[in-house]
Amino acid sequence: MLTDAEWEALTLSFRIASVGVACALPFAVAIAYVLARVRLPGKTLLDGVVHLPLVLPPVVIGYLLLITFGTRAPVGGWLLETFGIRLVFDWKGAALAVAVVTFPFTVRAVRLSLEAADPELEAAARTLGAGRLDVFWTITLPQALPGVIAGAITAFAAGLGEFGAIITFVSNVPGETRTLPLAIFTAIQTPGGEAQALRLAMLSIALALAGLALAELAARRIRRRRGG
């Protein structure tokens, strides 16, 4: 049975992961479309930048966010003075960290779906007079839907487990930024907290496995419906 503090960390993890993935999803779809369909110079460099969070230590990403969106940083200071938005020590900053770290998961899944789709359907629609936006909404996006769903669920599962970027950028504030991984870290640092850490670790493993399985099942179901 989870304690009140553990439930708080769990629900906060769900909120941060949901907001982070939802905010990043439109941008991920747009970047995936560019990488899969558009010819432009420097696309290899763009692809490398997009996938950089997969190879960078999360602490580095958190540090880059801190020097960019901190209260004394250029962007963060402007947001605070202009709109009163403070991301440091706030759950919204944790959601931003999740969005950045998990962004490549969604981009890659959507891109693979687009590359596996039949581009002749889009070309045929254009020859019949359909505009670029019409083709995207009626043909391209439905073909990419398995990747969108699978990528979003995978990113959400990864967001639930994000630690390094969050603790570096927004610290470990109870009830505000202490997600499930940070609660595990806190339990490890607390004398006699081994049982709590193990319980939360098992919960994290179960959530990760459930997320991966759900992503695969959702993608298969959409592919079957589209094939039928």
Taking 70 as the threshold, does the pLDDT of residue 108 lie above it? yes
Q: What is the pLDDT of residue 41?
A: 86
- The string of pLDDT tens digits covering residues 24-54 is 999 999 999 999 888 888 888 999 999 999 9
List of long-range contacts for 220-226, beta carbons under 8 Å, 24+ apart? 222/145, 222/146, 222/149, 223/146, 226/142, 226/143, 226/145, 226/146
Tell me the mean pLDDT in the region 102-130: 84
- Confidence at 215, pLDDT banded by 50, 70, 90: confident
- Confidence at 227, pLDDT banded by 50, 70, 90: low
- Confidence at 137, pLDDT banded by 50, 70, 90: confident
Q: Are 162 and 97 in contact (CB under 8 A)?
A: yes
Taking 80 as the threshold, does the pLDDT of residue 129 lie above it? no
Residue count (the chain): 228
Tell me the mean pLDDT in the region 124-152: 82
Above pLDDT 70, what percent of the chain?
Answer: 98
**Count of C-beta atoms within a 10 Å radius of residue 68:** 14
> What string of H, E and C letters represents the secondary structure of 58-91?
HHHHHHHHHHHHCCCCHHHHHHHHHHCCCCCCCH
Report helix, strand or coil for 119: helix
Q: What is the pLDDT of residue 143?
A: 83
- The string of pLDDT tens digits covering residues 154-204 is 999 999 999 999 999 999 999 999 999 999 999 999 999 899 999 999 999
List of long-range contacts for 48-51, beta carbons under 8 Å, 24+ apart? 50/103, 50/104, 50/107, 51/104, 51/107, 51/108
Taking 90 as the threshold, does the pLDDT of residue 104 lie above it? yes
Lowest mean pLDDT among 32-36, 42-46, 63-67, 141-145: 141-145
Q: What is the pLDDT of residue 29?
A: 94
More confident of the two residues 143 and 87: 87
Q: What is the pLDDT of residue 2?
A: 79
Domains of the chain: 4-227 (1.10.3720.10)
Q: What is the pLDDT of residue 21?
A: 96
If you average pLDDT over every residue of the chain, what do you get? 89
**Closest C-alpha among 94, 107, 204 to residue 150:** 107
Tell me the mean pLDDT in the region 11-35: 95
